[in-house]
Structure 1
Amino acid sequence: MAVDLRSVLTTWILLLAASSSVADNLAGPLVDQPLADQRLVDQLQLHGFASQGALKTSANRFYGDSPNTSFDFTEIGLNASWRLNPRLRLAGQVLYRRAGEMSDDEPKVDFALADIILTTGDSYRVGTRIGRIKNRLGLYNETRDVPFTHPGIFLPQVVYFDKVRNLILSADGIYVYTDLYQPFGLFSASLATGLPVIDKNVETAYLFGDLPGDLGPDENSWLASLWYYSQDERLKLGWSGAAVSLEFDPQQGSPLPIGPGTVDILYWIASAQYNTERWSFTTEYMAEPMQWRGFGPMRPDRDATAEGYYAQVTHRPLPKWQLMLRYEEGFGDRADRDGRKLEQQTFGLIPAKATSSRILTLGLRWDLNQQWMLKAEYQRHIGNFILSEIENPDFGSFEKHWDLFAIQAAFRF
């Protein structure tokens, strides 16, 4: 069973902060109060961002009632970083996110951690992070909620699923990392374990509906990554992955004969990006082997491997303008790409068109200045794999061919 990390992590962070203050006092003579206050101001950094989007789809619901134009896409974040000494930094962010029916319109702790440098040398660094930590998955997951950090309004959905965003976004746990600096580039590796964040979106997606009961972590998740960055950071290559085990607790007295089943997930991404002064070429491949066990005769045991990949090109013709072209494909099971097998097994409850997505995206970004940015995006969709089951509970009403147009304004400080 999962270890209760949350209370342990809180205690660790408080002890680390206290020990840092003691270490500072032992390191030298006391300073005058005005100097100490100025030092605190220099060490503390505050930043934030806010964005508002509008979406229109020709069919299907995406981030709200998009067929009738949705404005239910808002993100507001406030983050702080406080370096207590050269080896210890505290950081956190509170995020308000409205994303149609996939969010509950409440501020959340996006991350809150202590970053500790354990040892360092001329060519290496080893550290650990403790708390709620952003998972290092793919090129974009750690900064996916900050609109300035990626070229489009939406990340490639066949790799970075917004419908199960919280499962892969962060975990409450411990993260160990090491960086090795070489003349030809940087190697970086990490290993983490912690409790994944499970919500109704995750339950509905992996159980194909809202079953009577609760889905939660069966044990701590494990995450690992290995990255290479060239010296000028033109080339980025990486592999990252996570192993998660979920356990379903059926509601007592439910009329549905659903057992206390488990869902085991291995989610990994291979990433590559090459940057020049005006061009960026990006591609990522995702595979997600999954196993369903013990749910009973209504949900027989099943194995499947979801798959997704994309190719993306961005061009900066002028310093403040950026164009983006992306093509992506995703499948609920790479052994059943057309979805016909699952449609037959579920007697048509899950139509074939719900198991795959092919998406062509055109995007435009305009950085007005350092604080303001505008984006516009058009997507052509074939299939419904990326759609949220919460926003679209009736699979039979899916439209296989549909269009999406979105605009977004963003501000940062």
Structure 2
Amino acid sequence: MSILVRFFASLILLSTWSIASASELQFNGFIGQGAMVADDTQFIVGSDDHAFDITEAAFGVSWKPMEHFRVASALSFRQWGELYDSKVKFDYLFAEYTYHFGDETLGVRGGLFKNEAGFYSSTRDVPFTRPSIMLPQSIYSDYFRDAQLHIEGGDLFGVHQIFDGTLDWHLAFGKVDVTEDLERNVMGGTELGEFDSEHYYAADIEFQNNYMRLGVTYYDAEVSYAAPMSGNYFPGDIQLINWVFSGQFRYQNFELTGEYLTGDRIINGLVFPEQFGELKEPSLGYYLDFRTYLPHEVELFIRFDKHIDNADDKDGQDYENSTGIPAYFAYSNDWTIGARWFPSHDWLLAVEYHQVEGASWVTPVVYPNPSVQAKNWSMFALQVSYRFQW
């Protein structure tokens, strides 16, 4: 943990010890438990074809000792089958200053916080604030989550009332909080080298009213790679430079959401020697999600999610010719149907089924294993969640 994060950790602890003087103190949290069953894949479930260690939990505190100043922190626990090792860590940990003038707000925060890429990135780990158990992997990749999600740095933001809605914007900079999960999901094991953050820059703007939600995000994230002393690996880095365009439209009990990602993935080293040079691949991903809201707090949805590793090689044939790995590891087409039910304000039951062609986001992504991953595969997921606040 860096000096900056330790500083804000001390600040949070001092804040919670001073409860008696607090003008606004809030606690909140949640716990979610799920299960997954899959056919013709080991993604998340491993070799058993099922996983019951799908657990998420968080406990957060927000303290506002004076009008313009707030400190906030949350500890989280996450276990997502074979994709993430169980661990308790800071989910966010920051100090924030805001200034209000009329209906307008300007603010700045520093510490550890989540990025704002797309509609769901900053709240993707909370079952109640994401649209499904698994988010669309074309935009919210689970295997590369570590290289994008938790930012240690600063965030300048604003909220403005315009026309008949609200305009939010963020300008963020810093470094991402990298863990061993990234090494395992990308390279295939923690002994196959080590990733570290180089930089993260992002700009996000979003408009929302009662009928629609529109957003644009630009981000530039880079992680460096230190190769092991032996083996066929080389030091280098991975850089993502992407745009995400988001739109959501609501009419009565119906909702249509779509997001589109385009940009570049730039790779130096890793499995390529220095003389190979830079590998630059255009990124492409999008999804469309249609859902209806029924009586008794029930949601039904159907979604198509498409991801292509290299937009210049949409069918993966060039990938197969150059690597010998089947072409279907270069793209993914995911059809998902699902339902969410809120039996009360604090409880959520979610269920969904995925039918997938391709495996571009199946781990490990550098050297995938065709013997345990079919071209066409499926996954069923179930999760129950509870939240609290006081």
What residue number does 2:226 align with? 249
Q: Secondary structure at the match of 2:147?
A: helix
What residue number does 2:314 align with? 337
Offset of residue 290 of structure 1? 1.3
Q: Secondary structure at the match of 1:148?
A: coil
How far apart are the structure 2 equivalents of 1:276 and 1:80? 36
1:222 to 1:298, Cα distance in 2 relative to 1, 3 A: same
Which of 259-268 and 328-337 deviates more?
Answer: 259-268
Q: CA RMSD in A?
A: 2.8
What residue number does 2:297 align with? 320
Offset of residue 318 of structure 1? 0.8
1:67 to 1:267, Cα distance in 2 relative to 1, 3 A: farther
Q: Secondary structure at the match of 2:144?
A: helix
What residue number does 2:3 align with? 7
What residue number does 1:28 align with? none
- Contact kept, 8 Å, 2:359 with 2:375, in 1: the verdict is yes
What residue number does 2:216 align with? 239
Matched, 1:229 2:201: no
How far apart are the structure 2 equivalents of 1:13 and 1:77? 16
What residue number does 1:408 align with? 383
| Length-normalised TM-score, structure 1 | 0.85
How far apart are the structure 2 equivalents of 1:167 and 1:309? 20
How far apart are the structure 1 equivalents of 2:80 and 2:122? 18
One-letter amino acid of the structure 1 residue matched with residue 387 of structure 2: R
Matched, 1:158 2:138: yes
User: 1:50-79: per-residue Cα shift (whole Å, max 9, x none)?
Assistant: 111111111102322375321121111111
Matched, 1:198 2:178: yes
Q: Rg bigger for which structure?
A: 1
Q: Gaps spanning 5+ residues in structure 2: where?
A: none
User: 1:157-177: per-residue Cα shift (whole Å, max 9, x none)?
Assistant: 111111122222111110001
Offset of residue 188 of structure 1? 1.9
How far apart are the structure 2 equivalents of 1:97 and 1:354? 27
1:79 to 1:17, Cα distance in 2 relative to 1, 3 A: closer
Matched, 1:284 2:245: no
Trace 1:2-401 onto structure 2 (pairs within 5 A). Answer: 6-8=2-4, 10-11=6-7, 37=20, 40=22, 43-65=24-46, 68-117=49-98, 119-203=99-183, 212-217=192-197, 219-230=198-209, 232=210, 234-252=211-229, 254-256=230-232, 258-294=233-269, 295-296=272-273, 301-346=278-323, 348=324, 350-389=325-364, 393-401=368-376
Q: Secondary structure at the match of 2:161?
A: strand
Offset of residue 202 of structure 1? 2.9
One-letter amino acid of the structure 2 residue matched with residue 48 of structure 1: G
Q: Secondary structure at the match of 1:342?
A: helix
Q: Secondary structure at the match of 2:87?
A: coil
How far apart are the structure 2 equivalents of 1:262 and 1:10? 27
One-letter amino acid of the structure 1 residue matched with residue 182 of structure 2: V
Q: Gaps spanning 5+ residues in structure 1: where?
A: 21-32
Structure number with the higher strand fraction is 2
How far apart are the structure 1 equivalents of 2:86 and 2:268? 33
- Contact kept, 8 Å, 2:108 with 2:156, in 1: the verdict is yes
1:78 to 1:9, Cα distance in 2 relative to 1, 3 A: closer
- Contact kept, 8 Å, 2:264 with 2:281, in 1: the verdict is yes
One-letter amino acid of the structure 2 residue matched with residue 82 of structure 1: W
- Contact kept, 8 Å, 1:58 with 1:67, in 2: the verdict is no
1:391 to 1:285, Cα distance in 2 relative to 1, 3 A: same
How far apart are the structure 2 equivalents of 1:300 and 1:344? 19
The alignment of Structure 1 onto Structure 2 pairs a total of residues equal to 385
- Contact kept, 8 Å, 1:60 with 1:392, in 2: the verdict is no
Offset of residue 322 of structure 1? 0.8
User: 1:302-360: per-residue Cα shift (whole Å, max 9, x none)?
Assistant: 111221100001111213111011111111111101111111111x1x32111111011
How far apart are the structure 1 equivalents of 2:165 and 2:205? 13
Q: Secondary structure at the match of 1:374?
A: strand
How far apart are the structure 2 equivalents of 1:121 and 1:16? 27
Q: Secondary structure at the match of 1:62?
A: coil
How far apart are the structure 2 equivalents of 1:227 and 1:242? 15
One-letter amino acid of the structure 1 residue matched with residue 378 of structure 2: D
> Sequence identity, in percent?
27
